[in-house]
Amino acid sequence: MADERYNRIRVAMAEHERSNKWLAEKLGKSGTTVSRWITNKSQPSIEQLYEIAKALNVDVRELLEPSHEQ
């Protein structure tokens, strides 16, 4: 998937020592949804990215910057 290198949700969660369960509860989403986001099986909407950034206390751009992990 072309967007894989731009999805840094997993990295941001690790940097802030947050779990899938924590993010799912914070956003009112299922654990499956969060898991699909961080494994790039699906992508969050722009609105959801802003919610994720707010929950993790990061700038939304940090979730979109290219990752060097491939």
Q: Where are the domains of the chain?
A: 8-63
pLDDT for 14 equals 93
* Rounded (10°) CA dihedral 38, 60, 69, 14: -60
- Phi-psi group of 28: left, alpha or beta (phi > 0 → left; psi -120 to 50 → alpha; rest → beta): left
Q: Is the pLDDT of residue 3 over 70?
A: no
* Residues 5-53: tens digit of each pLDDT: 557 899 999 999 999 999 999 999 999 999 999 988 999 999 999 999 9
- What pTM, to 2 d.p., does this model score? 0.81
| Helices and strands per DSSP (H, E), number in the chain | 4, 0
Q: Which fold has domain 8-63?
A: 434 Repressor (Amino-terminal Domain) (1.10.260)
pLDDT for 5 equals 52
Token output for 66: 């290219």
